[in-house]
Amino acid sequence: MQFKLVFKPRTTTGKKTEIQIECYFSRKYKYIGTGVFIEPVYWDDKKSLATTKHPQYATVNKLLKDKVSDLEKANYKCTESGNVFDFNALKNISTGKDKQTFCDFITNELKKEPELGYKSIVKYKYNIEIIRGILGEITTDKITEKEIEKLNVEFHKQYADSTVARLHIFTQKYLKQAIKLRVIRNNPYDFVKLQKFKAEPKGTMHTMAELDALANIKDLEYTQGMIRDRYLFSCYTGLRISDNLALLKTHLTDTPDGYVVNLHTIKGYGHDLIHPLGLMFDGRPDVIARRWMAAHGEETLFPAVSRTYISTVLIALAALAKPKIDKHLTFHVARHTCASLLADISQNPYLIMNILGHSDIKTSMTYIHASPENTKKQFRILSDWKEKAR
């Protein structure tokens, strides 16, 4: 790309006009403003500089030369690295996009995706804040494999494997966009070996003994105890975090068999969830519901808190529960726990499908996980049946 300072005076003579940089590439021209304005009488077209008649000609000419020099250096640097310095790369420099923080870069790119729904935007902004909390205000061009490795370590400290995979997919998506816009040359993910996402990650479900250990943690603060209870409530009922947060006291009806939850799922599968809390897991979710029904004056069963705060407290609870529990505490694990425990107790896949709110029983089957203890239990039942049959 070639650069040249040009002066195009306005039709009205004597008026100050901005000096522009003419950029020529592939038989096309683009013009970039310099922010320097002078009158036509002070401009020398042959030298493409301000004349000595200008009271500050030395300062003006140095400023103009520096601006052209910056573009020439960027052009040289890009060409040397094997890339083409085209108008996209030029635009990034002229708008300062190459100096944006990575998180601001993602935020600006999100504005170009009008098809995104409200929930997706909220989720993406949450992802951005997670990345910002780890990488800080680093610019996009400074992200290397070291930053990706740092992200990976911190992701795994806080989230389940499935969430880690989602965060990496999100991060890499916008790094690829940065490459397309010539903000960076290479994808740092190409130089990092990350553990591949496993379909059956460690900590897919809790045993009943682990839930008891979590319930027996002593001396918790009010909010910690509340989040522990709402997590256990989802382990016993299979509620997603969205349904857990939206659960109102009016969704619970008191009956002789305990509270019954009647809730239309947030995701909306076309039918309501009916949970007889008093009959589920020896009434444990019913005990939790009654504890919080009268504990505060809000409309929701549990006091309102943010998802971010819930995640933070669950990390702390996981640390307090060690070594009895060596698993991530997430609401996804809670749903798997409910399904697996119901499978062990009832052996009824349709009951699990109804409790989890699935429309397809195949989906429910992916939530069921067999533990060695449960497998042995089933074989003992078969052995007892065999003895009785003789």
Q: Are 34 and 64 in contact (CB under 8 A)?
A: yes
Q: Is 388 domain-assigned?
A: no
pLDDT band at 268 (very low <50, low <70, confident <90, very high): very low
Average pLDDT for residues 77-103, to the nearest whole number?
71
Tokens at 77, concatenated: 């640097």
Q: Is 322 domain-assigned?
A: yes
- Examine the domain organization and report whether 72 and 104 are in the same domain: no
* Percent of the chain with pLDDT strictly greater than 90: 32
Q: Is 64 domain-assigned?
A: yes
pLDDT tens string 322-372:
888 888 899 989 999 999 899 888 878 888 888 888 777 777 787 776 555
The whole domain housing 125 covers: 98-191
Average pLDDT for residues 164-193, to the nearest whole number?
85
Residue finishing a domain among 37, 69, 95: 95
- Examine the domain organization and report whether 183 and 267 are in the same domain: no
List phi, psi (to 5°) of 248: -100, 160
Total tally of structural domains belonging to the chain: 3
- Examine the domain organization and report whether 232 and 371 are in the same domain: yes
Segment holding 204, helix H or strand E? none
- Examine the domain organization and report whether 91 and 107 are in the same domain: no
Listed ranges 31-45, 198-212, 273-287, 348-362; the one with the highest mean pLDDT? 273-287
Q: Which DSSP category does 248 fall into?
A: B
Residue finishing a domain among 165, 191, 217: 191
Tokens at 309, concatenated: 């705060």
Q: Is 109 domain-assigned?
A: yes
- Examine the domain organization and report whether 239 and 376 are in the same domain: yes
Rounded distance between C-alpha atoms, residue 355 and residue 335, angstroms: 10
Of 347, 337, 263, 272, the C-alpha closest to 300 is: 263
- Examine the domain organization and report whether 320 and 221 are in the same domain: yes
pLDDT tens string 302-326:
999 998 899 889 999 998 998 888 8
Q: Is 14 domain-assigned?
A: yes
Average pLDDT for residues 3-31, to the nearest whole number?
79
- Examine the domain organization and report whether 167 and 221 are in the same domain: no
Q: Are 155 and 168 in contact (CB under 8 A)?
A: yes
List of residues 6+ apart from 381 with CB closer than 8 A:
none
Average pLDDT for residues 37-52, to the nearest whole number?
87
Three-state DSSP at 139 gives: strand
pLDDT band at 123 (very low <50, low <70, confident <90, very high): confident
pLDDT band at 390 (very low <50, low <70, confident <90, very high): low
> What pLDDT is attached to residue 93?
63
pLDDT tens string 145-173:
999 999 999 998 888 887 888 899 999 99
Query: With 50 as the cut, is the pLDDT of residue 64 above it?
Result: yes
- Examine the domain organization and report whether 91 and 113 are in the same domain: no
Tokens at 212, concatenated: 């008891």
SS3 content of the chain, % helix, strand, coil (to 5): 55, 15, 30
- Examine the domain organization and report whether 104 and 90 are in the same domain: no
- Examine the domain organization and report whether 221 and 363 are in the same domain: yes
Q: What is the CATH number of the domain that holds 280?
A: 1.10.443.10
Q: What is the CATH number of the domain that holds 119?
A: 1.10.150.130
- Examine the domain organization and report whether 216 and 330 are in the same domain: yes
Q: Are 258 and 277 in contact (CB under 8 A)?
A: yes
- Examine the domain organization and report whether 241 and 366 are in the same domain: yes
Rounded distance between C-alpha atoms, residue 137 and residue 131, angstroms: 10
Q: Is 197 domain-assigned?
A: no
Residue finishing a domain among 191, 222, 241: 191
Q: Is 309 domain-assigned?
A: yes
Q: Is 219 domain-assigned?
A: yes
CA-derived radius of gyration, the chain: 31
